Amino acid sequence: MSVSSGATPLLEVRDLAKHYPVQGSWWRSPSQFIRAVDGVSFTLHAGETLALVGESGCGKTTTGRAILRLIEPTRGSVRFDGQDLLALDREPLRRLRRHMQIVFQDPFGSLNPRLTIGAAIREGLLVHELAQGAEADRRVAQLLEEVGLRAEHASRYPHEFSGGQRQRVGIARALAVAPKFIVCDEPVSALDVSVQAQVVNLLRDLQRDRGLAYLFIAHDLAVVSHMADRVAVMYLGRIVELAPRAALFAEPRMPYTQALLSAVPVPKPGRAPRRIVLAGDPPSPANPPSGCVFHPRCQHPAKDARCTRDVPVLAEKSPGHWVACHHVDVTTPLPPPLAPA
């Protein structure tokens, strides 16, 4: 059993962690670690979108990069398409990258300013020997049109494009190798509302046409509600709630998720939400609280000594709805999150 829904998943992440050393130096071992990601487990199926949401520093970006091994995880396992990614040597991993891609948040920093966008898109085709010469040109033109740009844009440099157009280039680059899975790391956060809507729709169209699976990392819950099939909420390096989209937005169970949702400003005047305003700031991942990481800011009426003592397990409280909280009624027995699939 795993944190998922049916069938063999395309991606299965178990107990993934990334700890960064602090205060270490080259001659002595570090004494303290920042637990950027601290035991994250989930699955993702072909053609599905799982959103990973949370506030800055919750570890969502690190999770996305550790899955792709752009950052080496400290522990855990990542199975992609039946292969254990963390056990792969450099060359087989490089070849496998064809099937898993990433789109970055910053449309300015993620394109090499000295390469034309055509060259940037071609690179994947060349290194994976998918197309060469005129055939590669044709594919680049096709990709540009697929993401809503024009074929003749291929010879231009990134600085000639707007943020939204650059983000389309980033998407075309990821698509070039025809992947099955894309990590979308805040792909619309840097964009204006009207452009954001264009890119959100584009990502959804591409998913429909190509059967892509997305790990959609975001902090904007409203965008997530338009993209995701399922949503995982992260806090301080852990998933604290994971549920189908509708269930999560209609009936958040974890107190943090409730506060997060209530904090989103609603673009409807006079309909001020019943807001749970959390006190203070999230604690530092270098020194996380004992027990439930959310307990210092939690306003749940039943908060008790157990919350400060025991780490709550992410457990399935109703079908498909996983919550890490001591005070949400247990309807199914707690499965260990590391149980074999």
Which residues within the stretch 233-252 sit at the binding site for other proteins (CB under 8 A)?
Answer: 245, 249
Do 125 and 98 meet the contact criterion of CB atoms below 8 Å apart? no
Nearer to other proteins, 265 or 333 (CB): 265
- Is position 303 an interface residue for other proteins (rule: CB under 8 A)? no
Fill in the per-residue mask, 3 to 22: x = in contact with other proteins (CB under 8 A), - = not in contact: --------------------
DSSP notation for 165-220: HHHHHHHHHHHTT--SEEEEESTTTTS-HHHHHHHHHHHHHHHHHHT-EEEEEES-
- Is position 181 an interface residue for other proteins (rule: CB under 8 A)? no
CB under 8 A: which stretch of 10-18, 32-40, 219-227, 306-314 binds other proteins? 219-227
- Is position 217 an interface residue for other proteins (rule: CB under 8 A)? no
- Is position 195 an interface residue for other proteins (rule: CB under 8 A)? yes
Task: Determine the distance from the C-alpha atom of residue 278 to the mean position of all C-alpha atoms in its chain, rounded to a whole number.
Answer: 24
- Is position 28 an interface residue for other proteins (rule: CB under 8 A)? no
Alpha-carbon distance 124 to 174, whole Å?
8
Tell me how far CA of residue 187 lies from CA of 64, 168, 268, 294, 304, in angstroms: 13, 10, 26, 27, 39
- Is position 156 an interface residue for other proteins (rule: CB under 8 A)? no
Residues 63-102 that bind other proteins (CB under 8 A): 65, 68, 70, 94-98, 100-102
Which member of 75, 83, 88, 108 binds other proteins (CB under 8 A)? 108
- Is position 173 an interface residue for other proteins (rule: CB under 8 A)? yes
Name every residue whose Cβ is closer than 8 Å to that of residue 58 and which is 6 or more positions away in sequence.
234, 235, 236, 237, 282
Name every residue whose Cβ is closer than 8 Å to that of residue 143 and which is 6 or more positions away in sequence.
121, 172, 175, 176
Alpha-carbon distance 258 to 300, whole Å?
10
Which member of 6, 82, 133, 269 binds other proteins (CB under 8 A)? 269
- Is position 287 an interface residue for other proteins (rule: CB under 8 A)? no
- Is position 118 an interface residue for other proteins (rule: CB under 8 A)? no
Residues 38-57 that bind other proteins (CB under 8 A): 55-56
- Is position 192 an interface residue for other proteins (rule: CB under 8 A)? yes
